[in-house]
Homo-oligomer: A and B are copies of this chain.
Amino acid sequence: IDAVVSPTISADINNYFTVMSGYLVFFMQAGFAMLCAGSVRSKNAKNIILLNILDACFGCCAWYLTGFAFAYGDPVPYEQCNGLEGAELDACNAGPAILGGVSASQGFIGNRWFVMSKLPRENYWFWFFQFTFAATGATIVSGAVAERCKFEAYMLYELMIVMFVYPVVAHWMWSSSGWLSPFRTPDTKTGSYLYFAGSGAYDFAGDGAVHMVGGVASLVAAWVLGPRIGRFDAAGNPVDMPGHNAALTLLGVFLLWFGWYGFNPGSAVYWTLPGVDHASQVAIAAAVNTTIGAASGTIATLFIAMAYQYFTLGVVVWDLIIAGNGALAGLVSITGPAGFVQPWAAFIIGGIGGFVYFVASKVNLHVLKIDDPLDAIAVHAGCGIWGLLATAAFAAPGMVSDVYGARADNDEQRAYGFIMGGSGAVLGANCMAIVVIFAWTAATMTPFFLLLKKLNLFRVSPEVEAQGLDVSHHGGSAYPHELAAKGVNINGDS
């Protein structure tokens, strides 16, 4: 009986694990749809659900056309295929598949495998898994623009972000040539490895690439779009505008939490490694940390909000919607650090994540006066940033090694969290990631949304907004019986 795992069976198991994780990440679309549906007024329920299902659909087209190519289409280094001909050249150009060697000149963007052309079929697992991430990132914005955005504008936005904006960031952070990536392979010109700040940015499951991109795009979109009618009174004070169905909202939270077990553990992308015992402990630690982060975020947010209300208004309120957002805040916060930190740190990270969410939400509403119906900005941008910082603080040396292996250039221990006794390298790289992801997303999406606004394509008319988007644009109310209750005859419905 051999104690090692054959490469073939190892790859089979890893691909199963990753594809199954992709299914769970896809399921998050159902969660987002229900979360959004419950959080808007009933007159706009169909609209927001349509945005959500089209996130998956346009996201798929966009990822097929250019998204995957820009993100992971690293070319094989010229040196490697030089001198080959015919089928051998084709094979060389096609391989070594995912995360293969590449020249540093491709640090900004990938450039092959458009429309899956020449993508070897044994790499489809990666295409699929990464598609689910792209679609998840894109769907975040649907909450921020809810109840007032033109449907046509949202379709264009979806193509913009999945075809171009997100893939570039994914390339920087996760590809084998991205300039911030800890997966970088050697520069083919110099032969040297160039980890940014000596470490590269650490982002286990996408606090930067997914949540910050979605969150910053939400910020820009909600700012350009302006608040819903009635969200602020004449004095500029916010007016409460509750969603129509808290049960749907929380169903969404539960579905998202479940799907996150694909998002975070799945980001290990392997379950076994030939010659390594218990390689799965990276993914399993991510599952444990995800659970703890969510639990901690929920409880912290619930108590923070209760205390806030108690000290400002003198009443004790245990707010379900805020608790649900707290769960999401915890989940987003632990997304970046999931595979790198120990369970006790996950409690801290989730709890602080709840605090970050709560403060960011208040600042957003009361100071910036931005109307974000789903609190997408606070949850995804706020906690996304926090998650990248937390990774730089709490990443444990042994766990970093399990995730990334030794440094590829000198075979030494990778950098790790400064609270754990490590250097500031990860902090430097992750701060750079925060800055450039914020800048890139804002710099690309702001002109895009401003142009839509200029062309009068972005926001529905006040009349349509007052009446609701469903009756105006989507073939009638989501709940025709409500109309019946108002005396409108709905074909015999009792």
10 chain-A/chain-B pairs, Cβ below 8 angstroms: A3-B7, A9-B272, A20-B20, A23-B258, A26-B257, A33-B251, A60-B292, A230-B491, A319-B475, A468-B494
Binding stretch for chain B, among A203-211, A234-242, A380-388, A407-415? A234-242
A11 to B131 alpha-carbon distance, docked (Å): 29
What 7 A-B pairs are tightest by C-beta distance, nearest first? A30-B254, A246-B478, A60-B295, A57-B295, A319-B475, A46-B320, A122-B278
Q: Beyond the given A41-B492, A56-B294, A317-B475, could you list 13 further A-B residue pairs with CB under 8 A, ordered by the A residue number?
A: A12-B271, A19-B265, A23-B24, A26-B261, A33-B254, A34-B251, A54-B298, A54-B302, A58-B295, A59-B295, A124-B285, A244-B479, A467-B494
Chain A residues at the B interface, C-beta cutoff of 8 Å? 1-13, 15-17, 19-20, 22-24, 26-27, 29-30, 33-34, 37-38, 41-43, 45-47, 49-50, 53-54, 56-61, 64, 115-116, 121-122, 124-125, 127-128, 131, 151, 229-230, 239-248, 250-251, 253-255, 257-258, 261, 265, 271-272, 274, 277-281, 283-285, 287-288, 291-292, 294-296, 298-299, 302, 316-324, 327, 343-344, 347, 466-468, 473-482, 485, 490-494
Q: Are B49 and A247 in contact (CB under 8 A)?
A: yes
A57 to B229 alpha-carbon distance, docked (Å): 37
Query: Which residue of B is nearest A300, CB measured?
Result: B57
Q: How many identical subunits does the complex contain?
A: 3
Partner of A244, one of B54, B240, B319, B481: B481
Contacts A128-B287, A271-B12 known; A37 to B491 CB distance under 8 Å? no
Neighbouring B residues of A246 by C-beta, 8 Å: 45-46, 49, 477-479
Partner of A4, one of B1, B43, B241, B480: B1
Contacts A56-B295, A466-B492 known; A49 to B250 CB distance under 8 Å? yes
Q: Are B285 and A121 in contact (CB under 8 A)?
A: yes
Q: Are B321 and A475 in contact (CB under 8 A)?
A: yes
A15 to B278 alpha-carbon distance, docked (Å): 9
Q: Are A12 and B272 in contact (CB under 8 A)?
A: yes
